[in-house]
């Protein structure tokens, strides 16, 4: 488990996987994380903490047993995609933090105000390609840890107000998949996007003011204080 300050919000990053079984639990007060004031939780992992991603991965996920009762029968009274009869550790961690249950990343239109769950049941830490080199095939999912981290990058881009569809495109430019042509770069002769604040790349080489502002905020709030030179 790692803690990180992102801009001014306090974020709990968790990786819940089978290795947690080897930790000795300490008896704790159920609300003990409230004082940490976490705004959101981002969780990565496998079936120990999947709250509904695998069952949304077509075509295989919806056909798995986790998409049907008796999974979910005890607490939710219906299936949620959790690989248990009720809540998981990540659910108790969310409750102890005073936060709602984490919605799965693959749930369309879900509320991600208090974090996202990227965990996918049966996910491996190694990528599908690396597993294949060792003749290992994951028959349930390709959503390895690398894929889950990629989802998190996309989610962060969207949460920072950028357009998730245009992250690689230049605002000022024309041509190709990236709105960029080295022989016809951004100039007064080239179209400019209507809202540069939604773009990361200004001209295909340099970033927009909005992107530089976010990066500076991160440096000012998170990185510079760790140098302990300007308290
Ligand atoms: C994983 O990816 C491979 C290659 O793209 C594909 O053939 C396979 O069906 C995928 N497996 C699952 C479980 O989605």
162, 199 contact by CB (below 8 A):
yes
Given pLDDT bands bounded at 50, 70 and 90, which one contains residue 230? low
Quote the radius of gyration of the chain (alpha carbons, Å).
Answer: 21
Which of 1, 16, 11 has its CA nearest to residue 38?
A: 11
Q: What is the number of other CB atoms lying within 10 angstroms of the CB of residue 23?
A: 7
Q: pLDDT above 90 covers what percent of the chain?
A: 68
- Å from CA of 158 to ligand 1 middle: 27
- Å from CA of 143 to ligand 1 middle: 10
- Å from CA of 68 to ligand 1 middle: 23
Instruction: Determine if ligand 1 sits within 6 Å of the CB of residue 141.
Output: yes
- Spatial distance between the Cα atoms of 199 and 47, rounded to a whole number of angstroms: 35
* pLDDT tens digits along 62-81: 999 999 999 999 999 999 99
Least confident of 6-10, 15-19, 136-140: 6-10
Which pLDDT score is estimated for 220? Answer: 87
Instruction: Determine if ligand 1 sits within 6 Å of the CB of residue 136.
Output: no
Q: Is the peptide bond before 59 cis (omega within 30 degrees of 0)?
A: yes
Pocket mutation for ligand 1, best pick of 128, 129, 132, 137 (most atoms within 8 Å of C-beta): 128
Beta strand extents in 37-112 (DSSP E only): 40-45
Q: Is the peptide bond before 149 cis (omega within 30 degrees of 0)?
A: no
Handedness of CA 14, 15, 19, 21 (dihedral sign): positive
Which pLDDT score is estimated for 5? Answer: 43
Residue nearest to atom 2 of ligand 1 (CA): 142
Given pLDDT bands bounded at 50, 70 and 90, which one contains residue 14? confident
């Amino acid at each position: 488990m790692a803690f990180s300050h992102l801009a001014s919000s306090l974020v709990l990053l968790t990786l819940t996987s089978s290795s947690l079984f080897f930790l000795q639990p300490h008896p704790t007060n159920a609300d003990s994380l409230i004082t940490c004031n976490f705004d959101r939780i981002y969780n990565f992992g496998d079936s120990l903490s999947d709250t509904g991603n695998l069952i949304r991965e077509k075509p295989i996920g919806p056909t798995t047993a986790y998409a049907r009762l008796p999974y979910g029968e005890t607490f939710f009274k219906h299936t949620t995609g959790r690989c248990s009869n009720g809540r998981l550790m990540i659910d108790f961690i969310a409750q102890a933090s005073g936060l709602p249950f984490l919605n799965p990343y693959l749930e369309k239109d879900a509320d991600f105000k208090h974090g996202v769950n990227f965990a996918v049941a049966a996910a491996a830490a190694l990528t599908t390609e690396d597993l294949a080199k060792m003749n290992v095939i994951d028959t349930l999912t390709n959503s390895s840890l690398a894929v889950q981290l990629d989802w998190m990058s996309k989610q962060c881009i969207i949460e920072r107000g950028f357009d998730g569809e245009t992250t690689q495109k230049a605002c000022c430019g024309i041509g190709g998949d990236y709105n960029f042509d080295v022989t016809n770069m951004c100039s007064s002769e080239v179209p400019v996007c209507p809202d540069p604040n939604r773009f990361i790349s200004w001209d295909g080489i340099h970033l927009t003011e909005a992107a530089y502002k976010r990066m500076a905020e991160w440096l000012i709030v998170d990185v510079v204080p760790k140098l302990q030179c300007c308290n």
